[in-house]
């Protein structure tokens, strides 16, 4: 049965443009929170470890459980928002996120903190698809929608960049719980302004919610993400392979179920659009390259170049600036050269930045790194904004929440895969140069032998060689994808 038209407290045509743009500012608040929370915890983790004394396994879960649940629940929460109301699910998720943030800030032990982080992940999974789908309805004109999504994407990049900087400043003056409490005033502002500036949208459907689809999607996505992260941390093992195979089997059953159920979580017909499918691939592989290299270059700055954590965070700002600027400019670029050419160009720029990493050595000046990552940021800014715009624009209005959940899930899976695949490749090259002299990682090696010994210098060079191998693999993947995108997006549905 075809879903009934959207209902709304206020129709898009009656919503004044000025109010819509003020509403966009409100929608940027949860996006900044989610992106900050991904980046700031890595900075706070050493202090948390000193205070709560987590085991090695608990420390991994403190870091990972948030991302696990966000990745697993994005499609579910996007679909649920379409049904019960996108503003409603946004505020429910924000309330859960805020309560969990306070609980995390005052966690008495590691187990309690893991539970609070899990609850933050559940709340956070509602924020991204709800805010993106509301943009689709608040800005019905394609040009306005594209510009709004570019600004929304820029907010995400900005949050990821300023998170470590703000976190570093606060941790210098206060205890570790403050990195969670900074969420509270932002959530409070969202509750104050959202009821006045954000309209409500929901789809009417007579079909029951697809509970079986939710279960199958969770049984598929969560094991796959876990297997990928486990392989990245511990190396490929029988355990990670079995867990990953189980997840892949559940995804296969999920897709079979989606073809048959009358009200699927994901409308698989969307993938018949060349533009939609190409953009999902760009989201997946773009984040693989960006996520993997972000991790490796952070280690490079801190362990090879010996910058402190805050200086390394500041070195990421030029890339964040170019991502933000070109996210906003992406719509103008697409109007000038077309979506197909703009996406192809963005992949080529990201590939150029990745391949440029091959020029970095143990003693390279910092400005080379800053220029290369800024070039990458131009490409990532264009592609991330265009992906979100094309994906949301390809879906019927009543399914934009579910569609945005698919794209955001691709971004999350891409990040996890990038860390696992490129991180594992770099580690393999590093250990291949070891001859028994190195520990399992560069950090452990430097802890044992110091930073200036001959073994330390050899270990640093071995890490750089591993980073080069990962950068080469990521750059080639982006180049191949640029050719694929240019080819498959030749059809009429790729032009707007």
Q: CATH no. for residue 81?
A: 1.20.1250.20
210-229: burial string, b at 16+ Cβ within 10 Å, e else: beebbebbbbbbbbbbbbbb
Q: What are phi and psi of 52, to 5 degrees?
A: -105, -10
Per-residue pLDDT at 14: 44
Per-residue pLDDT at 409: 77
Residue 3 resides in a domain: no
Domain span at residue 290? 267-496
Residue 4 resides in a domain: no
Mark whether 252 and 169 lie in a shared domain: no
Residue 310 corresponds to which tokens in the numbers above? 């805050």
Mark whether 295 and 422 lie in a shared domain: yes
Mark whether 110 and 128 lie in a shared domain: yes
Residue 356 resides in a domain: yes
Mark whether 26 and 170 lie in a shared domain: yes
Mark whether 200 and 217 lie in a shared domain: no
Mark whether 68 and 167 lie in a shared domain: yes
Per-residue pLDDT at 241: 87
Contact 359, 295 (CB under 8 A): no
Q: What is the pLDDT along the chain (496 residues), one digit of tens a residue?
A: 344 444 444 444 444 677 778 888 888 888 887 777 766 776 677 677 778 887 766 776 777 788 778 877 887 887 787 778 888 888 999 899 999 999 998 988 988 998 998 898 888 888 888 887 888 778 877 777 788 888 887 887 777 777 777 777 777 677 888 888 888 888 888 888 888 888 777 766 656 777 887 888 888 888 887 787 777 666 677 888 898 899 889 989 988 888 888 777 777 777 777 788 888 888 888 888 888 888 788 888 888 888 877 777 788 888 888 888 888 888 888 888 888 888 899 999 999 999 999 999 888 899 999 999 999 989 988 888 888 878 777 766 666 666 777 777 777 777 777 777 787 788 888 878 777 777 767 777 777 777 777 888 888 888 899 899 999 999 999 999 999 988 888 764 444 4
Per-residue pLDDT at 415: 76
Per-residue pLDDT at 493: 44
Mark whether 64 and 165 lie in a shared domain: yes
Among the candidates 158, 182, 206, a domain finishes at 206
**By C-alpha distance, which of 435, 426, 159 is closest to 313?**
159
Per-residue pLDDT at 233: 62
Mark whether 202 and 214 lie in a shared domain: no
Q: How far is CA 100 from CA 49, 62, 412, in A?
A: 19, 13, 21
HSE-up of residue 246 (Cα within 13 Å, Cβ side): 13
Mark whether 436 and 297 lie in a shared domain: yes
Per-residue pLDDT at 11: 44
Alpha-carbon torsion, ordered 412, 429, 303, 447, to 10 deg? 110
Contact 358, 318 (CB under 8 A): no
Mark whether 79 and 163 lie in a shared domain: yes
H or E stretch including 355?
A: helix 339-356
Mark whether 152 and 242 lie in a shared domain: no
Residue 333 resides in a domain: yes
Please state the domain count of the chain: 3
DSSP 4: P
Per-residue pLDDT at 303: 82
H or E stretch including 202?
A: strand 201-203
Residue 161 corresponds to which tokens in the numbers above? 């960049």
150-187 pLDDT per residue, tens: 888 788 777 777 777 777 777 767 788 888 888 888 88
Per-residue pLDDT at 10: 42
Mark whether 66 and 214 lie in a shared domain: no
Residue 337 resides in a domain: yes
Among the candidates 160, 183, 206, a domain finishes at 206
Contact 470, 296 (CB under 8 A): yes
Residue 2 resides in a domain: no
HSE-up of residue 243 (Cα within 13 Å, Cβ side): 16
Among the candidates 262, 277, 301, a domain finishes at 262
Per-residue pLDDT at 440: 67
Residue 279 resides in a domain: yes
Residue 1 resides in a domain: no
Per-residue pLDDT at 96: 92
**By C-alpha distance, which of 393, 421, 396, 427 is closest to 146?**
393
């Amino acid at each position: 049965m075809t879903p009934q038209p959207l209902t709304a407290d206020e129709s898009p045509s009656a919503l004044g443009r000025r109010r819509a743009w003020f509403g966009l500012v409100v929608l940027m608040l949860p996006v900044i929170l989610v992106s900050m929370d991904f980046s700031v915890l890595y900075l706070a983790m050493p202090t948390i470890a000193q205070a709560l004394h987590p085991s090695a396994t608990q420390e991994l879960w403190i870091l990972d459980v948030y991302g696990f649940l966000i990745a697993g629940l994005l499609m579910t929460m996007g679909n649920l928002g379409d049904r019960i109301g996108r503003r409603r699910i946004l505020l429910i998720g924000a309330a859960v996120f805020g309560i969990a943030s306070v609980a995390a800030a005052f966690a008495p032990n590691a187990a309690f903190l893991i539970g609070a982080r899990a609850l933050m992940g559940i709340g956070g999974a509602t924020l991204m698809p709800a805010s993106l789908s509301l943009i689709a309805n608040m800005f019905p004109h394609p040009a306005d929608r594209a510009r709004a999504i570019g600004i929304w994407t820029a907010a995400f990049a900005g949050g990821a960049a300023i998170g470590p900087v703000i976190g570093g400043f606060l941790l210098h003056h206060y205890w570790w719980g403050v990195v969670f409490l900074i969420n509270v005033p932002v959530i409070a502002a969202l509750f104050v302004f959202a009821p006045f500036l954000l309209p409500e949208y929901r789809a009417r459907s007579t079909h029951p919610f697809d509970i079986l689809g939710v279960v199958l999607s969770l049984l598929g996505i969560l094991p796959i993400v876990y297997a990928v992260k486990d392989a990245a941390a511990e190396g490929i093992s029988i355990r990670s392979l079995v867990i990953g195979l189980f997840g892949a089997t559940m995804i296969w059953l999920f897709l079979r179920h989606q073809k048959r159920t009358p009200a699927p979580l994901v409308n698989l017909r969307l993938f018949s659009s060349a533009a939609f499918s190409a953009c999902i691939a760009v989201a997946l592989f773009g984040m693989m390259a960006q996520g993997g290299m972000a991790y490796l270059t952070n280690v490079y700055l801190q362990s090879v170049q010996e910058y402190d954590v805050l200086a390394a965070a500041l070195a990421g700002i030029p890339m964040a600036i170019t991502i933000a600027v070109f996210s906003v400019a992406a719509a103008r670029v697409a109007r000038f050269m077309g979506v197909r050419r703009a996406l192809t160009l963005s992949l080529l720029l990201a590939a150029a930045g990745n391949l440029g990493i091959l020029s970095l050595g143990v003693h390279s000046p910092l400005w080379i790194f800053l220029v290369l990552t800024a070039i990458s940021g131009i490409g990532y800014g264009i592609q991330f904004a265009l992906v979100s715009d094309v994906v949301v624009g390809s879906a019927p209005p009543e399914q934009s929440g579910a569609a945005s959940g698919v794209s955001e899930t691709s971004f999350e899976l891409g990040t996890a895969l990038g860390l696992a695949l490129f991180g594992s490749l770099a580690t393999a090259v590093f250990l291949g140069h070891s001859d028994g002299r190195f520990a399992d990682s560069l950090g452990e090696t430097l802890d044992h032998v110091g930073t200036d010994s001959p073994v330390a210098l050899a270990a640093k060079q071995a890490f750089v060689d591993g980073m080069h191998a990962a950068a080469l693999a990521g750059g080639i993947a982006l180049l191949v994808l640029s050719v694929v995108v240019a080819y498959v997006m030749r059809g009429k549905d790729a032009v707007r």
